Amino acid sequence: MAVTTPSHSIGVVSDPIADMLTRVRNANNARHTEVRVPSSRLKLEIARVLHNEGYIDRYEVEKAEEAATESLRIIFKTPKGGPETGSRSRRVISGIKRISRPGLRVYARKTEIPRVLGGLGIAILSTSQGVMSGREALKAGVGGEVLCFVW
């Protein structure tokens, strides 16, 4: 008897950003080299910030012939190992956490932009001038919605 695998479409997701961050976290913890998520403009901007801050190697939008939607392909950055890293190389992303969510929005004024792990991580904000890291928002002098922390 032949076993067929159904297509794994998720359907309606109540929080697409949390879904993207969870996929990135799980793929990173499983030491995958890349992850694919359904694409949107906000997800593309979050990937751009992660790339600019050095957390991912690159990202690209893929359009499948059979699918009507585009997918965002995120390729992880892995440090070049030396003798001190051992057989299991460390990942650049140690953790990623959703802060503002549909049930509880979190906003920060320009003077209250959070520091993640004492400056070792970044906060990603959605501002009136676009999606940017906490450092960029501080330089631009704008506040906004705190989307997530990455460290």
pTM: 0.84
Orientation angle between helical segments 16-29 and 41-52, nearest 10 degrees: 40
Instruction: HSE, CB side, 13 Å, CA atoms: give it for residue 26.
Output: 9
What Rg value do the Cα atoms of the chain yield, rounded? 17
User: What pLDDT sits at residue 91?
Assistant: 82
Confidence (pLDDT) at 79: 65
Under the banding of pLDDT at 50, 70 and 90, the label for residue 5 is very low
Task: Check residues 84 and 49 and name the one with the higher pLDDT.
Answer: 49
Other CB atoms within a 10 A radius of the CB of residue 31 amount to: 11
Q: What's the confidence (pLDDT) of residue 8?
A: 52
State phi, psi for 37 to the nearest 5 degrees: -135, 155
pLDDT score, position 90: 72
Q: End-to-end distance of the chain based on CA atoms, in angstroms?
A: 48
- Alpha-carbon distance of 135 to 149, in angstroms, equals 12
Give the pLDDT confidence of 19-64 residue by residue, as tens digits. Answer: 999 999 999 999 999 999 999 999 999 999 999 999 999 999 998 7
In this structure, the chain runs to a length of 151
